[in-house]
Structure 1
């Protein structure tokens, strides 16, 4: 369980760093062309058209980013629920896993064999919780590109922000860092000693990246964090496990 959580956190960090590495400058003239690749044709370009349409209805790209964030998060909600179910199953088995670790602490090979048997007996795949995140990555990166490669968004304003430039007042970077921290707390990361370091590393990393990111992307990150917190508030408790090992 601990290893799977660490892998999940590494994947999240990799996604953030990948997005940071391919961030275009705010003056780039690149536009999404569906003839460029299958990626642009079936992911980035449709998202760009949808965002332009929502902006035409609501009148501002700031609200359009919010609507598309919610739509995308609802689209991948079944994957998120699957991930939470997998985490719940692993939590239920944790006492037995701990007993095996104590019993076979001097025999790593036997420990591995018995742990695999335990997973097979309860039909649990310890890596299943990572698959939804892997599926989400292309969607999230495509959404990022649909924001950053849209010249209309780069030249738009929302509230005090110019969406194509970094927030001059650092409000969005602070909100991005704070909501990342609160989201981690809500998801129970503080209860995992091995993952606790990420509780502080991720918010700081997001804050630093948001200082240079165009406001459109930082705004998306804040919206996404807020959605996750609301989601866990309403359904997260269903997939937690009480100390005695029964689901709530």
Structure 2
């Protein structure tokens, strides 16, 4: 039991270190601004803001009240312009700006901006110059001389009234020198826009052009980039997804060229992403650039093409702009977009996290409530582990029965440690006892817990999902904070002091669970087990409510399981009570001796 306690303590402390590292680093050791290399001084001076100083929330979006008000005013002005082509699709709505042929107005119709039901759809793209600037643009770069190309200020003509899944639109511009440029936009029912760029050369000689596509965004609306969830530039290169670099890396370098053949590239937040997907086999190149003032580019460059006189050359690029819905991304991957399902940053344990997510999503589809689905998932996991728990308790009983023999061996070989180890292992083998069997449920529980943790913080399927009563968003922390009297007092406690009802229940259930375990005779272990439930209460308070529901349910089931198995193994319960009494007497003796 002493060995088991040591393993439990080590695992729990390791888990606390893993889960709390990012918080501790940010709270106790605020990071200074990184130095900028000499060749990037000009870009840094132009930005007016040191890289990494933007304030980012978990979901992203503007945080300053003045910026939010300015964004609303700018949108109202920009979107009134008649030089726009409406976009209406099941997944996206917005408009295309005929000035520059930019897709700079997109909202995600399936997801709300905030938890309030009347908050409107989540906005992804905003026009250039607005505080939330974020847009996509398709065009050409000159690879030769003497060709007038369309640019940011070019006013395009449109063929079609509205972009829908059934009605594509085509933007056309002629340079007056024999070349006509066109971009045909098509959209599907989800989040994919297909841009087909064509150049018709009616001139007397060939021209050489380079088709390009570009994403342009501000860092001000980015979600927080943490140790377990990447926010920033990313992409797939040579069939491998790369969740790097971050914005700070690009700001310091000014420009980062991506090595390898590009499958797709763009920007990701915790729930949203954009990606440019080149024509397969086109040998395109790509980079990420920092323009200053927190503006970043993802560039896609095709190889220069020659357009002979009297010919047309076409290049097709896909733009994904929307929510990171697992099923949608998997469907696009099945349709040919390499590694697109891995755009969700599952991390090292995706082989385990994906099945947990799929089971949870299936339970949600059956129950209609994600909180109930989490509880059912916990019941399934604990049910599968119950036979292991039975063996654990049987092993504990066997270990208890061996205690007199083990003590006899310790007395006999107290001066011969190798012999003691040899005889102890022989005794275990003779009695068919595995001293580590009691740790198996804990070892299994750790990846399950981490998989659910990643599922709850990553998957948009649980965003804004309510449970019961005051819990309106299972992906967010418990809003019922005790320190502000559940919202009655007009302040929001710091995250590490934001103890809610679910965190309090976690501390209580952990305390009850430890009370049912045999008491440790070591005073240090006694103190650790006494304070651990309340330490966990503070550590877990800022985490998603859904995760706390899982842990509370698991604790309650563990208490019920312990009560049942103690009835099956009464000698363990008697020994646990005896250990508790002995521990109390030892504390009294230690106090008296002091």
Identify whether the pair has TM-score above 0.5, normalized to the shorter chain.
yes
What is the match of residue 15 of structure 1?
15
Following superposition, the deviation at residue 75 of structure 1 comes to 1.4
What is the match of residue 535 of structure 2?
205
Tell whether the 8 Å contact from 2:511 to 2:533 is kept in structure 1 after alignment.
Answer: yes
- In the alignment, the residues of structure 1 paired with residue 363 and residue 424 of structure 2 have an alpha-carbon distance, to the nearest angstrom, of 50
SS in 2 for 1:152: helix
Q: Which structure would you say has the larger Rg?
A: 2
- In the alignment, the residues of structure 2 paired with residue 131 and residue 73 of structure 1 have an alpha-carbon distance, to the nearest angstrom, of 13
- In the alignment, the residues of structure 2 paired with residue 219 and residue 99 of structure 1 have an alpha-carbon distance, to the nearest angstrom, of 46
- Select the structure that is richer in helix: 1
- In the alignment, the residues of structure 2 paired with residue 97 and residue 127 of structure 1 have an alpha-carbon distance, to the nearest angstrom, of 16
Query: Given the superposition, is the C-alpha separation of residues 26 and 62 from structure 1 closer, same or farther in structure 2, using an over 3 Å criterion?
Result: farther
SS in 2 for 1:51: helix
- In the alignment, the residues of structure 1 paired with residue 564 and residue 502 of structure 2 have an alpha-carbon distance, to the nearest angstrom, of 25
Tell whether the 8 Å contact from 2:520 to 2:526 is kept in structure 1 after alignment.
Answer: yes
Gapped regions of structure 2 (runs ≥ 5): 24-56, 60-269, 273-323, 331-340, 482-499, 576-594
Following superposition, the deviation at residue 210 of structure 1 comes to 2.0
Alignment of 1:164 with 2:406, yes or no, is no
1:175 aligns with one of 502, 505, 520: 505
The two structures have a TM-score, normalised by structure 1, of 0.83
- 136-145 vs 235-244, greater mean Cα deviation: 235-244
Query: Given the superposition, is the C-alpha separation of residues 51 and 117 from structure 1 closer, same or farther in structure 2, using an over 3 Å criterion?
Result: closer
Q: After the TM superposition, which residues 98-117 of structure 1 pair with which residues of structure 2 at under 5 Å, given as runs?
A: 98-117=407-426
Query: Given the superposition, is the C-alpha separation of residues 240 and 111 from structure 1 closer, same or farther in structure 2, using an over 3 Å criterion?
Result: farther
Following superposition, the deviation at residue 19 of structure 1 comes to 4.1
Q: RMSD of aligned C-alpha atoms? A: 2.7
Query: Given the superposition, is the C-alpha separation of residues 210 and 153 from structure 1 closer, same or farther in structure 2, using an over 3 Å criterion?
Result: same
Query: Given the superposition, is the C-alpha separation of residues 207 and 20 from structure 1 closer, same or farther in structure 2, using an over 3 Å criterion?
Result: same
Query: Given the superposition, is the C-alpha separation of residues 120 and 52 from structure 1 closer, same or farther in structure 2, using an over 3 Å criterion?
Result: closer
- In the alignment, the residues of structure 1 paired with residue 530 and residue 438 of structure 2 have an alpha-carbon distance, to the nearest angstrom, of 22
Gapped regions of structure 1 (runs ≥ 5): none
Q: After the TM superposition, which residues 26-175 of structure 1 pair with which residues of structure 2 at under 5 Å, given as runs?
A: 26-27=58-59, 28-29=270-271, 31=324, 35-36=341-342, 39-40=349-350, 42-158=351-467, 159-161=469-471, 162-168=473-479, 169=481, 170-175=500-505
Tell whether the 8 Å contact from 1:185 to 1:199 is kept in structure 2 after alignment.
Answer: no
What is the match of residue 208 of structure 2?
none
- In the alignment, the residues of structure 2 paired with residue 64 and residue 26 of structure 1 have an alpha-carbon distance, to the nearest angstrom, of 24
1:64-108 per-position Cα deviation (integer Å, ceiling 9, x unaligned): 111111111111222222222221211110121122223333443
Tell whether the 8 Å contact from 1:19 to 1:141 is kept in structure 2 after alignment.
Answer: no
Tell whether the 8 Å contact from 2:389 to 2:441 is kept in structure 1 after alignment.
Answer: yes
The two structures have a TM-score, normalised by structure 2, of 0.37
SS in 2 for 1:100: helix
Compare relative contact order (CA 8 Å, sep 6+) and give the higher one, 1 or 2: 1
- 164-173 vs 103-112, greater mean Cα deviation: 103-112
